[in-house]
Each structure stands twice: as C-alpha cells, then as structure tokens.
Amino acid sequence: MEKEKKGLLLGFLGVVCFSLTLPATGMAVQYFGTTVVGLGRTVIAAILVAGILMIRKEKAPNRNQLKSLFIVAAGAVLGFPLLTSWVMNTLPVSHGAVELALLPLATAGIAAFRAGERPSLRFWIAGLMGTGAVLFYAISLNLGTFQIEDAGLLASVLLLGLSYAEGGKLSKEMGSWQVIAWAILIGAPFFLIPVAMNLSAEMLHAPIQAWASLLYLALVSQFLAYVAWYGGMALGGISRISQLQYLQPFLMILFAAVFLGESVSLITIITAILVVLSVFIGKNAPVSKKDLPGSM
C-alpha cells in the first residue's frame, strides 16, 4: 500500500505538470511556431539530460531497451509535442483538453497488450464512465463538425498512450527519469535541422511569457513531468495510475482560465465531479498481471 501511495502521489504530480502543457503550448506557438515549439523543446531538454547522464555516468541502454525507447520517443518526444503544437494554432485549450481525456483508456488498453496487465471489469466500467463523461462534455460544448485538427489530437492520444504504456513498463527496469532522458537524446539529433531552419530574428522579441512557456515545455513537460509520471506507473501499475489522467483535462481548463482567460462553465464543474468519481472507482479496482509470450 505504501508503494501504491507513492505511485499515486508521483502520478498526480505528473498530471499537474502535464496539465500546463496545452496552455503553455498555446502561448508559445503564437511567437515561435509549430516546429520550434513542438521539436525545439526536445533540443533544449537534451542539453539538460545529457549533462545529467554524463555526471551520473549512466549505463547506456541495451538493444532490447533501445527498441522500447524508440517507441517512447515516437510518442512522447516527436508525435505528441508536434501534433499538439499544430492544433493549438487554431483550437482553444478546452477543445484539446476534452479529447485528451480519452488518454487513460488508450493507455490502459495498450498496456493490456504491451505490459501484460489485465484490468478487471470494474476498472473498464470506471474507464468507460470517465470517457462517457468527457464525450457528454464535448457534445455540451457544441464543438461542431469533425475537423482535421481533431484527427491530429486523436492521433496524439494513441501515440502518447503507447508511449506511456511502454515507458511505464520500461521504468521498472531502467528507472523513471532514465527512460525519458534516453528517449530525449534519441530524438534530439533528428530535430536539430528542422528547428534551425525555422528560427528567425523576430523570435528574439517574443514576450517573457512566451519564453517562459517554451522553457516550461522543454524542462518540465518534456522531462521532469515524465520523471514523476513514469515513476508513478512503475510503482502503482500502468492501468491504475493512468486513471489519474482523467483529472488532466479539467486541470488544463482551470489553468487556461487562469493564464489565458478562457471561461469555466457550470457543465465543466459537473463533469469534473463525475470524472473524479470514475478515478476513485478505477483506482481501487483490481488489476491483474500476466506475462505475455515473447514480451520484452
């Protein structure tokens, strides 16, 4: 129980940090553009993690670990940052937050195949309850017809869900911060040229809020939040800790109201209560584990 409590605490800390990602992206992308915000954050984070890995003289990952790290990098380092930076050019944070609420179900479903976890029926009922709540919330907002940006958000959910599941499993073997650190180092060299090509002198005149948002995305969203998140999943289990993500869209909306001036409606508060209830049910639902044949 003590181990699970630590996992829940770390997971919640990670969720709070991630909840500022879309508001920070919405601010930064106005001045730096999609490529610099989506990929440049990894380049900045790579400077920090390279120094940490060198000082600590961390052992390089083996071949099997590298396979998992490429999966983590594809979602957490490339896919999610780039796709969300693109959609935040046109969509409000509340819109993105609603669709990202499907992330816990995606993470748990992928974990069932990748990490050998078998959530109980009560767990899936809780997950569907949370998903149903956010879908009702989406309808109540009258978000309109399905847009290409919506497809980008849903793709980012699947990529990040795969990354979360793979990273949570690998954290038990390598350590939470080592997983995201090596994933950042794997992705950063490929991003140098596109980031450099999209830099401009005008960016130097961006306001302090934009620079602070970019640094937050690089140091917290891209690295420190993952340290807490993967550590939480390693201690508490991928499926169970993933339920905390149901709190994330409403924290995003709250932070958007505080930092970007977006309004918070009564339906948002009501839905938040339903989501918190689903998190409570899912947190206490049994989750069994089974080794998959040929799993890494």
Q: Name beta bridge partners: 118.
A: 288
CA distances from 29 to 21, 40, 89, 156, 289 (A): 12, 11, 7, 17, 41
294, part of any domain: no
235, part of any domain: yes
Cα 52 from Cα 164, distance rounded (Å): 22
Two structure tokens written together for 45: 């984070």
292, part of any domain: no
Burial of 121 (0-12, 13-18, 19+ CB in 10 A): exposed
Two structure tokens written together for 181: 């650190």
Tens-level pLDDT at each residue, the chain (296 residues): 688 888 899 999 999 999 999 899 989 999 999 999 999 999 999 999 999 999 998 889 998 899 999 999 999 999 999 998 998 887 778 777 777 777 877 777 787 776 666 777 887 888 788 777 776 776 666 555 556 777 888 889 889 888 888 887 888 788 878 999 999 999 999 999 999 999 999 999 999 999 999 999 999 999 999 889 888 888 888 777 877 877 887 888 888 888 888 777 777 778 777 877 777 777 666 666 655 444 44
293, part of any domain: no
Q: Domain limits at 255?
A: 2-286
Cα 247 from Cα 73, distance rounded (Å): 24
Nearest to 287 by CA among 55, 34, 118: 118
32, part of any domain: yes
276, part of any domain: yes
Nearest to 45 by CA among 226, 194, 171, 206: 226
Question: What ranges in 74-147 are assigned the alpha helix state H?
Answer: 80-87, 93-100, 103-114, 121-140
291, part of any domain: no
Number of domains in the chain: 1
Nearest to 41 by CA among 267, 268, 222, 235: 222
Torsion sign (Cα): 236, 245, 154, 80: negative
153, part of any domain: yes
Distance spanning both ends of the chain, measured CA to CA: 27
Which residue reads 């690295």 in tokens?
A: 223
* pTM of the complete model beyond 0.85: no
